[in-house]
Amino acid sequence: MQTDSLNKQGVQSLAEGVVRRDPRSLGRALSLVENGGREETYELIRALYPHSGRAIVVGVTGSPGTGKSTLTYELARKLRETGLTVGIIAVDPTSPFSGGAVLGDRIRMQGLAGDPGVFIRSMATRGLMGGLSPATADAVLVLDAAGFDRILIETVGVGQDEVDIARTAHLTAVLLVPGMGDDIQSIKAGVMEIADLFVINKSDLPGADKTRLEVESLLLMRSESLSEQIPIVKTVATTGEGIDRLLSTLEELQSRMEGTRRMEEAEIQRARRRIMELLRERVIRAVLRGIPPEHFQELVEQVRRRSTDPVSGVEELLGRTQFKGIV
């Protein structure tokens, strides 16, 4: 049964396999949602959605070289020691040749291979500046429906543009390393704004205390109360130092958020965002289905030659479909 030719019964069977946490079904389901934009994908989302909503999603982000993969691995290992199951989505750079993910993170996490309570999936950014593709939210849905207690999303590490993770995860950990200096100042307008906690990784290196003071100063500049609310944890992921403290801090933050208006608002925003993404995707597909490919290509050429403008081109496309009433 291939995911590119599933009928409704096949999708239901696949969904049942996901709920049973069958590894093969999980792999097929994640491939289906990553490809996206097909009726089988929508059917799978419908089938799995009632089984979701229980997992806690933690985002791990930060600049390249901060040790995100190692820390994610250690955090997953500690979670397993407590008896919790873990799904990991490692968002990798998109290959310019295949469009797929470069599987570096999954290779680095081979120490978790063979544990039935862990499932690791590499996904591509698809070139999106926000650091996550829309399929990441559906991948979270798949792992959530499979009953994983915690889902860790390790982002690709593209700098201050990588803020989508805060809209997908319940908690976001931003990794820094000693010696970043001016880099901390340069990313404060992006990634620094989304942290629920900061992790100073590689804190055995010189300058860890200075980095902590720099982060505390930035938080104080934003808000004195904010500086009291956002924890800063020092870790050395390669040795496991500080991971227990990180885990307990995450659990404390989660307990603090449960049942609050902030968490409710975050869930509302996540639901609104996914509806808009799907609406945009389906409207584009519906429009393009009603346009002959040669006509669309001709319109592209007209815009390129500037014999028409993009706005008029879109209005012409919509005028040829059932959406003509909105132009």
Residue 132 in tokens: 């996550």
Cα Rg of the chain (Å, integer): 22
Q: Map out the domains of the chain with their CATH numbers.
A: 1-51 (no CATH), 53-258 (3.40.50.300), 269-326 (no CATH)
Residue 168 in tokens: 């997908």
pLDDT in tens, 41-52: 999 999 999 999
**Three-state helix/strand/coil letters over 26-80:** HHHHHHHHHHCCCHHHHHHHHHHHHHCCCCEEEEEEECCCCCHHHHHHHHHHHHH
List the pLDDT tens digit at each of the 327 positions of the chain.
444 557 888 999 999 999 999 999 999 999 999 887 788 999 999 999 999 999 999 999 888 888 999 999 999 999 999 999 999 998 875 443 344 444 554 555 667 878 899 999 988 655 444 345 668 889 999 999 999 999 999 987 655 445 677 788 999 999 999 986 655 655 555 566 788 999 999 999 999 998 898 888 888 877 666 666 889 999 999 999 999 999 999 999 999 888 888 788 888 988 998 898 888 888 888 888 888 889 999 999 999 999 999 999 988 888 877 666 554
